[in-house]
Amino acid sequence: MVAHQPFSKEFLERRKSILDAIEKKKGYKVRQKVERRWKEIERSRGNIGLPFKKDVLQTKQRLVQHIPIVKRAVAPSPEEDLMLDTSLSMIRGLRLGVYKTKGPLTFAKKRALTDWLELMSATLPEEWGIHDTIDDLLKNIDYISKAQDNLWKILDRHSMVRKKYSPSCAKGESAFTCGFWKLLHTMSIGLAQHRGGQTLIDSGMRKPDTRIFSPSEAAVAVRDYMDNFFLCDPCSTHFVATFDDCSKNRRCDRLANAAEYATDADWKEMAKWMWEVHNDINVRLVREHAQENKNKKRGGFFGGGGVVPSSNIAALFPSIDACVKCFGDDGSWNEEAVFLFLEYEYWPSTTFDPKMNRLLKFEQEFDAEGAG
């Protein structure tokens, strides 16, 4: 987490690697301009945003991906797949879920939508181009709350070039659900990385009056989104019932209510809680699937459901093959190791990779101005 804490050693090292990449690609004068802009951001603490933006929404399609022989050589990076899947599911969820009934949004639904968008703004990696869509939606929240067509018009301004999920999601039964879980995990890790948005304010990327989410407030925003907009009604009903029961996953005890008093350990709890909820849902779905097949197989692990213990274990995430350190010697979870695994899986590397095929937001500006 320290690489994203303003002005820590790791934070400054990552910034330097970005500037080195800029200088190599665009020249020293462009590097100087970017450095000056960063200083202006720090002084003004304005909502200018990073001078670069990795953008899956506008990344040029690699036509060679359609050629199987060379596909592996040009496969997108894990971060690009993560951006793609989370962005597709977030946008699809908004497009198809916000207006389930006719007429304008009620006050409660408008509030739930605003909270969701503000949470995504505060927690998703600042480099990701999806922020352009989020900012536009928040700027026009009154407009998009009046009619479905208004919402779609704003979303259509930010049409994605790549419209198919990555292989990691496309191979499953529901690509949307896969991408949405990635979105929730990325958000929960981002809550810790950004301390609910406070880190963005401290680093000068956001205005001082930007909303900050405590772990508890972030969880409530997710709950209200699921209650009002999620595409699967039975899934939504189960999630809300689980959330509202304080005895489930210790939510009421573990998620801090006040952001200003939250410790590093407190900020990590949202990610751990979301991971536990995800695992509980996975096991429940295995149980339900087994119940459906009880007439075919009997005497299973769940009492006649046709599930053997290995099916129960296979439903857990991460698997022991993916993270052996996530399991203690007695088979219990090592939650600190789980958090590190989630951070590795769902948060961009702290090392900036200049070879990644992204649009750098400053390129067009500086190309127009020239290096002089």
Tell me: the pLDDT tens digits for 351-371?
Answer: 544 433 333 333 333 343 443
Residue 103 inside a domain? The answer is: yes
Residue 27 inside a domain? The answer is: no
pLDDT value for 300? 39
Question: Is there a contact between 113 and 141 (Cβ–Cβ < 8 Å)?
Answer: yes
pLDDT value for 323? 86
Q: How confident is the model at residue 34 (pLDDT cuts 50, 70, 90)?
A: confident
Tokens in use for 150?
Answer: 């208004």
Residue 314 inside a domain? The answer is: no
For the ranges 69-83, 106-120, 175-189, 199-213, which has the lowest average pLDDT? 69-83
Asked if pLDDT for residue 44 goes beyond 50, the answer is no
What is the DSSP code string of 319-357? -TTT-GGGB-TTS-B-HHHHHHHHHHHHS--SS--TTS-
Q: How many domains does the chain have?
A: 1
Residue 260 inside a domain? The answer is: yes
Percent of the chain with pLDDT over 70: 70
* Position with higher pLDDT, 54 vs 63: 54
pLDDT value for 208? 86
pLDDT value for 270? 95
Q: Mean of the per-residue pLDDT values for the chain?
A: 78
Residue 370 inside a domain? The answer is: no
Residue 68 inside a domain? The answer is: no
Residue 223 inside a domain? The answer is: yes
Residue 16 inside a domain? The answer is: no
Host domain of residue 254 = 78-274
pLDDT value for 289? 65
